[in-house]
Amino acid sequence: MVRIYGSGTEFLTENRPIIDRYPLDMAFFVGNAKRMPDNRDGFSLWVEEGAHILLAIRYLEFPMVLFGAEELCGQLAEALIHNGLTFGKVLGKGSLPETFLSHYEVMAGGSHKIHVSMMTMICTDFHGCATSKVFHASPAEVNEIPALTEKFYQEAVQETIDLTKIEERIWAEIGTYACIRREGKLVSMAKTTRETVRLCAISAVYTLPEYRGQGFARQIVTALTAEILSRKKTPYLYVDQTNPISNHHLYKRIGYTCDAPQVEIKYFSKQ
């Protein structure tokens, strides 16, 4: 059985038991679903056979996220093709994205390439440090954060982004950013995102190259981690351990430990 949801709200309502049981695995699902009042910005599906389920969601240009049984990847691929639902990247745990794409490419053609191999890190034993230089962004920083975000994407995931697409999003989420300013300019930032009842992620951790090695990233992540813990929630983040600007050793010093590997794969449609 395949169920295509009419909105993110429907997805959240009908999958509440799974969300509650697997909060970390479902974090991307919850974040994406909350932003989808209808299907103009993406789609969400449920595939079920016997005791097995497979969930998929895609929001805007972000990866389609998968969770569930690899045995149902063929049915998901068929449903996507039949309903004209497309994607550019796939994200999921372990071998799930590769298994899905192997089925999808048999039916629709195309090819794929691993884009980022990520590791989930969870704060389990917090170690603080001085954070007096850190402040929360205000509308005064709206014009500077997009430029740092662009640099972050270029270095962290080797992607070029369309700033016009993210400026409105940054404005709406400006209060989630923590920053450090030096010599009159914004030099380091990070933000909280995908906040749920039990969890909150930290992402977009970036410091300008000429200001690295001064502890700015550690101070910002420490400040955001302390805030999340004060709200009785578990902080987590994702790192690409193969990327030279990854801060996974820094995160370990703050008190984060590695959990589950995830892989993001780019799909190239048949020409």
Q: Report pLDDT for 168.
A: 80
Q: Determine what percent of the chain is predicted with pLDDT higher than 90.
A: 69
Question: Which phi and psi angles does 25 have, rounded to 5°?
Answer: -60, -30
Q: Which stretches in the chain have pLDDT values below 70?
A: 157-161, 241-246, 271
Class (C level, CATH) for 126-254? alpha beta
Rg (CA), the chain: 19
Q: What is the pLDDT of residues 211-259, one digit of tens each?
A: 999 999 999 999 999 999 999 999 999 888 666 666 778 899 999 998 8
Q: Domains of the chain: which residue ranges?
A: 2-118, 126-254
